[in-house]
Amino acid sequence: MPDTVVIVGAGGKMGRRAAEKLGHQPSYKVRMCESNPERAQALAAEGFEVTPVESGLAEADYVIMAVPDAVIGPLAQLAPRMKKGGTLIMLDAAAAYVDELPSPGDLTFMITHPCHPPFFTEQATPEARRDYFGGIAVQDIIVSLAHGSEARFLAGIELCKAIFAPVRNVYRVTPEQFALLEPAMAEVVVATAATLMKDALDTAIEKGVPTEAAEAFIAGHAQIAMAIVFGAEPSPFSDAAKIAIQWGTQELLRPDWKRVFEPHVLRQAIRVMLQGDGKEN
């Protein structure tokens, strides 16, 4: 008999991705929960079964929280209404890291997140090479057991692989390590660095560099710089570039920037993130 999977927030971006992967698979009986009437109507029009959260939780073997970070904690408070022995799957570690989850009782709480298709990795088709999120391109995922049954966690991994398929590797981390990867590394550091690169491009254009020239220059230099730093390109930076990097590090970065990985600072960052309005998913 197929397991019942309830997707909470099924009409949002991540919810729809999960719905598209799982919604027509015979191995799962999928129910969609969506509070937005227009999104719920769109799901129903596509043939998905839309159900209220309360009734969905009562029969769910798995509940996927495809909702914004800011509402994972509040919605997780509904977990006691879940079917006995069920598994709650969160797509972010924030609520678990700052202890916003209810007592699990006999439930299993787990976390998963896609690594997204990596750069400098060959993909099989042009469509996969243009897929930066995953779902067409092969990617890895991370998983973590926050509370509960090891057996249920291992079964939940198979569901996670189906959500983010095609999946190459599954890496297990602790909830604490999960938070170091995201938000600390991936969002606080990497997304900030990417935003800084775009700001640099915009500044060069504002100062008179032709747009196409600036875009071509940063695209190529961003790729070769990452290739050198991450070991895909054996040639090193030039001596002048090494000096520029050292000077730029002093000018652009706080000397103590790695403090964002310290637990008390990371908790502070997560609490700020969780103050969002919860509208974007």
> What pLDDT shows up at residue 260?
96
The order of strands in the sheet holding 3-8 is: 28-33, 3-8, 62-65, 87-90, 108-114, 139-147, 167-172
Q: What is the mean pLDDT of residues 235-239?
A: 97
Encode 91-145 in three state secondary structure. Answer: CCCHHHHCCCCCCCCCCEEEEEEECCCCCCCCCCCHHHHCCCCCCCCCEEEEEEE
Q: What is the mean pLDDT of residues 166-190?
A: 97
> What pLDDT shows up at residue 280?
46
Which of these ranges, 24-33, 68-77, 166-175, has the smallest mean pLDDT?
68-77
- CB-based contacts of 106-109 (< 8 A; 24+ apart in sequence): 106/148, 107/79, 107/82, 107/147, 107/148, 108/145, 108/147, 108/148, 108/149, 108/152, 108/153, 108/156, 109/76, 109/79, 109/145, 109/146, 109/147, 109/148
* pTM score above 0.85: yes
Q: What is the mean pLDDT of residues 263-278?
A: 84
Q: How confident is the model at residue 279 (pLDDT cuts 50, 70, 90)?
A: very low
Between 22 and 142, whose confidence is greater? 142
Q: Is the pLDDT of residue 236 over 80?
A: yes
Give per-residue pLDDT as tens, 72-124.
888 888 888 899 999 999 999 988 899 888 888 999 999 999 999 999 999 99
Query: Taking a C-beta distance cutoff of 8 angstroms, is the pair 66, 12 a contact?
Result: yes
Q: How confident is the model at residue 252 (pLDDT cuts 50, 70, 90)?
A: very high
Angstrom distances, CA of residue 97 to CA of 9, 77, 143: 21, 15, 14
Q: What is the mean pLDDT of residues 169-179?
A: 97
Q: Mean pLDDT for the chain?
A: 93
Angstrom distances, CA of residue 94 to CA of 68, 112, 113, 192, 272: 11, 12, 12, 18, 11
